[in-house]
Amino acid sequence: MPEGIIVKALSGYYFVQPADGGGILRCRARGVFKLRGVSPLVGDRVRFETSGGGEGTVREVLPRTTELVRPPVANADLAVLVFSVVRPELNLTLLDKFLVHVEAKRLDALIVFTKIDAIGEAPEPARVREQLEHACRLYGSIGYPTVRTSALKGDGLDELHGRLAGRVAVLAGQSGVGKSTLLNALVPGLALETGEISERLGRGRHTTRHVELIRLPGGGLVADTPGFSQLDFRELGVDDIGEAFREFRPLAAECRFRGCTHLSEPDCAVRAAAERGEVADSRYRHYAEFLAEWKESRRRY
DSSP assignments along 159-214, one per residue:
HHHHHHTT-EEEEE--TTS-HHHHHHHHSTT------PBPTTTSSB-----S-EEE
Q: How far, in Å, CA of 10 to CA of 15, rounded?
A: 8
Each residue's pLDDT tens digit, 192-249? 655 444 333 344 444 445 788 999 997 899 987 664 445 677 778 878 899 999 999 9
For the whole model, what pTM was predicted?
A: 0.86
Q: List the chain domain ranges.
A: 3-61, 78-224, 238-300
Which H/E stretch holds residue 25?
strand 25-29
Beta bridge pairs of residue 113: 83, 148
Establish how many alpha carbons lie within 13 A of residue 207's alpha carbon, considering only the half-sphere containing its beta carbon.
20
Could you tell me which residues come within 8 angstroms of residue 16 by beta carbon, excluding any fewer than 6 positions away?
4, 5, 6, 7, 24, 25, 27, 46, 48, 56, 58
Instruction: Tell me which architecture the domain covering 3-61 has in CATH.
Output: Beta Barrel (2.40)
Does CATH place domain 78-224 in 3.40.50.300? Answer: yes
Q: Which fold has domain 238-300?
A: Ribonucleotide Reductase Protein R1; domain 1 (1.10.40)
Centre a 10 Å sphere on the Cβ of residue 221 and count the other Cβ atoms it contains. Answer: 22
- Angle between helices 157-164 and 179-186 in degrees, nearest 10: 90
| Tens of pLDDT, residues 116-164 | 999 999 999 999 999 999 999 999 999 999 999 999 999 999 999 999 9
What confidence tier does 261 reach under pLDDT thresholds 50, 70, 90? very high
